[in-house]
Structure 1
Amino acid sequence: MQTINVTQLYDILYAKLGPRKWWPAQSTVQLLCGAILIQNTNWRNVDRALNLMEDQTHFGIGALLNLTTEQLQDLIRPSGFFRSKERYLRALLTAYRDDFKGWRQLTTADLRKQLRALPGIGNETADVLLLFVFRRPAFVADTYTRRLFAALGMPSKNYLDLQKQVDFNLPLVQAQEFHALLDDYGKLGVDDFNLAATYQLTSH
């Protein structure tokens, strides 16, 4: 059994899967919409909703925020939980329009607090926004990641518990790729490359 750290795990996954080139969005507004709509669903459903939004608004911030509650709910209905997601999305897009410029001057810790204070923004979504919108290195300890890390000998009680365990110091581009690699690896199935049989993960 070979002991590896997070950087070495990144290298192993990158060698096996190659660059993932996430997040799949053509604009910041589209990325923000996807980050909300992906909650509790799969990307196929999100893609259907995003296509409807693009047809109706071309992801113009004014066009989106000028939609009525019912109009926006109809567009995002394919992603599920459309009533709550409409509220979350409207709050996030309003913050993007009004607050994001000022928030970019904040420390990462304070910025994360501001994002977490928005309705519907949990730990995972906040870290995704830090990583792909504000371009701050962040470790997204989502379900796929916790499952793989547990298999590699680093179990965790929850999202924040795993974040505390990991000494994460990847630079931005690698941090973005790492999140994508972990999620795409998780979607392949149960340890297709037998990582758990070969490696033991350490936080150092």
Structure 2
Amino acid sequence: MHAIDVNELYHILYTKLGPRHWWPARSTEELLCGMILIQNTNYKNVDRSLANLDAATNFGLAALLALPDGQLQALIRPSGFYKNKARYLRAVLQAYHDHYHELAALPTPSLRKRLRDLPGVGNETADVMLLYVFMRPAFVADSYSRRLFARLGQDAPYPQLQAHIAPTMRLNIAQAQEFHALLDDYGKLGPDVFGLADQYQLKL
């Protein structure tokens, strides 16, 4: 069995799966909406909500923020938890509108803390925002990642795994985005379909 680090794991997954071309959104606003709406639901439901928002606002930031609460809730209802998600979505979009340049100037640890302070932004959403909105090479320790890492000998809760993995990554932003997509798409194929756990042990 070979000991590998996360950078080697990235290259192994990339070789097996190839580029994933994730987040085919037309704008940052659409990305932000998707990041909030995907919480506790599936992509099919999110797609319906995004289509509703697109038809109503064309994902214009001013138009999104101008939506009355009731209309916003109705548009995103297919994603579930629509009252809370409407509040979270408005808070995230308002922060992006009002403070983007201030936030973008922060070092990554401070930026991550500020994002975590926003309503509805947990560890995973904050790291996804770092990765796809603020273009930082963050590590998203979501359920697919943790499941594979546990099989490779690193079973830990989200904060602990993220804290150990992020400083060891030597991936640029494009590679970090690919890594997140590769981990999730590999997880969706089934339980370790390429038998990585039989070949490798992950070292931190």
Query: Which residue of structure 2 aligns with residue 144 of structure 1?
Result: 144
Paired position in structure 1 for 2:32: 32
Alignment of 1:73-92 (within 5 A): 73-92=73-92
Q: Name 2:153's counterpart in structure 1.
A: 153
TM-score (norm 1): 0.96
For 1:15, the equivalent position in structure 2 comes to 15
- CA deviation profile, 1:129-151 (whole Å, cap 9, x unmatched): 01100001101111110110000
1:164 is matched with which residue? 163
User: How does 1:36-185 map onto structure 2 within 5 Å?
Assistant: 36-156=36-156, 158-166=157-165, 167-185=168-186
Give how far 1:169 is off: 2.6
**Map of 1:187 onto structure 2:** 188
How high is the TM-score relative to the length of structure 2? 0.96
Distance in 2 (alpha carbons) for counterparts of 1:29 and 1:73: 17
Offset, 1:88: 0.2
Q: Per-residue deviation at 1:168?
A: 2.2
The Cα shift of 1:99 comes to 0.6
Equivalent position of 1:201 in the other structure: 202
Encode CA deviations 1:83-121: one digit per residue, 9 max, x unaligned: 100000000001111011211111111111111110000
Give the letter for the 2:40 counterpart.
N
SS at 2:134's partner residue? Answer: coil
Q: Quote how far apart the aligned CAs of 1:23 are.
A: 1.8
How many residue pairs match? The answer is 202
Cα separation, 1, equivalents of 2:164 and 2:110: 21
In the alignment, the residues of structure 2 paired with residue 24 and residue 74 of structure 1 have an alpha-carbon distance, to the nearest angstrom, of 24
Give the whole-Å Cα distance in 1 for the aligned partners of 2:203 and 2:108.
25
For residue 99 of structure 1, give the secondary structure of its aligned residue in structure 2: helix
The share of aligned pairs that are identical, in percent, is 62
Does 1:4 pair with 2:10? no
Structure 1 vs Structure 2 CA RMSD: 0.9
Aligned AA (1:88): Y
What secondary structure sits across from 2:30 in the alignment? Answer: helix
Letter in 1 for 2:169: F
Query: Once superposed, which parts of structure 1, at least 4 consecutive aligned residues long, lie more than 6 Å away?
Result: none
Tell me how far apart the structure 1 counterparts of residues 17 and 2 of structure 2 sit (CA, whole Å): 20
Q: Which runs of 5+ in 1 are unaligned?
A: none
Query: Which segments of 5 or more consecutive residues in structure 2 lack a partner in the other structure?
Result: none
For the residue of structure 2 that corresponds to 1:129, the secondary structure is helix
Residue 8 of structure 2 aligns with an amino acid whose one-letter code is Q
SS of equivalent residue, structure 1 residue 197? helix
Question: How many Å separate the matches in 2 of 1:6 and 1:13?
Answer: 10
Q: Secondary structure at the match of 1:91?
A: helix
Distance 1:110 1:2 in 2: 36
